[in-house]
Structure 1
Amino acid sequence: MSEALLIVAHGSHLNPQSSTPAQDHADALRASGRFDEIREAYWKEEPSFRNALRTVTADEVYVVPLFVSEGYFTEQVIPRELRLDFEAADWDSDGTSADHTTLEPTDVDKRVHYCGPVGTHDAMTDVIVRRAETVTSNDDVGAGVGLAVVGHGTKRNENSAKAIQYHADRIRDRDRFDEVRALFMDEDPEVDDVTDHFESDDVVVVPLFIADGYHTQEDIPEDMGLTDDGRGGYEVPTRIDGHDIWYAGAIGTEPLMADVVLERAADAGADVDAPETPGDGAIDSARADGD
């Protein structure tokens, strides 16, 4: 029986970079040859959620949301647009533990394995650490360094903060970094006071956003004082209040994210064993290097 992977992301009519992570990770997974078919679909771009399953020829479809947290999009918008008879209780989550559920769409003859978002998967913790390594160009970064895991935060969705705190706690438990804090744009503790939360001279700031855009390239750098105008860029690191701030940009652009997508599908039962063909080295390396 053929298997397809459908990566669903937000997209944007205004930000051309919004769909880049989904496209890049889909391309990396296509090169691995692990699925018969891989497609992307978007809420704010084409191809749209609504028509996505109609374009898939495979009988079994693994739907992986490229979103940071559980909530409105993963529990209402995506299932509705894909015509899945889904209830949040189907995966009995505490806000960070959504796994997968198997459903049949009302308009196409397929079996859909609907997965929780990539942002709450345990493998995302490894991506955050990798992001810190990438921005500092130091595979051993940690000793003497503070790490800020940054999320949007919103009073409208408590799960938004839960996902950020979950990974901050997991990294803190590893005792790799001297300090680990969860900070937010729109709730306390706020990222604009980043230096108030750390004693370490070096602080790595990793925002849990899927794509680089207004928030990650302008709001957060300006809030932290890296620059007066994010459109003109900023130095990495930037010296602020006696600290070197290493700002990493959106987590979703990290190549290791493709591995999290793969893990989500594997958890739902996808056959992701590497085929005996060339072209899958990038994904295999990511899986081997994950903490």
Structure 2
Amino acid sequence: MRIVLVSIFTALIYSFLFFSFDNKKSISTEGKTIKERYLTPSGYERTIEAKNSFAEYLRNLPLKPSESLVKYYNGSTKSNNNVYDAVVDLPIGNKDLHQCADAVMRLRADYFFQQKQYDKIHFNFTNGFRVDYSKWRQGYRIAIKGNKTSWMKIAKPTDSQQEYWKYLEIIFNYAGTASLAKEMNPTAVSDIQIGDVFIKGGFPGHAVIVVDMATNGNKKIFLLAQSYMPAQELQILLNPSISSNRKVCWYSANNLPTLETPEWTFKSSELKRF
């Protein structure tokens, strides 16, 4: 009974919070980026983020045309049963690797790669072995024998896009929510920022990343992106607490004991930061 009452109370909060959307268009279907596609509710303004920051990178991610369907790694499509509103226009490869935590790590790595901050690209395998992209660029590759993992210098130094993607696929293969959750630091929902991740480490686990934010006084709202299983394109999530006949993607950070997304429910204590 308590869970039911909490769910009803949460739905009422969201209905009140987003009432202004009745009189204001919430989605600009012509928008080509997250920032252009999703309009803020009345009274809200997007947070001010530093130029060339990770936050600015995320809110300016390119989107496929409105009504596009998410594609799996094998080219088939994921039907949209009130799960997502838009598809992020980034390639994911043709292997079943780009799943939830992988997509989060990929966004972090892509940002640093674009900024040429190669030394900041590193992730841990599930066994704890740290894999730095800077070593990969030098020509080192991963050798795995049983439970032992090590570096071997077997290739020429390169920073090509093709070799960078091979590095990511190694990460996707041997890292996941369990390892990423250990790498990240817990943070309070009241201090939520773009780039923070709701993550449940485990087998299976799940992860979604905050890709945009807006505020109205001490009220904060945010947008979420995810990949999932099997490997699929990143997608901007709909808010399931809003009536299905009103397409709203903004989530409220206020009074958030749990975060209900279309395909997973997180505890507020599962918010973490790089």
TM-score by length of 1: 0.25
- Higher helix proportion, which one? 1
- Higher strand proportion, which one? 2
TM-score by length of 2: 0.26
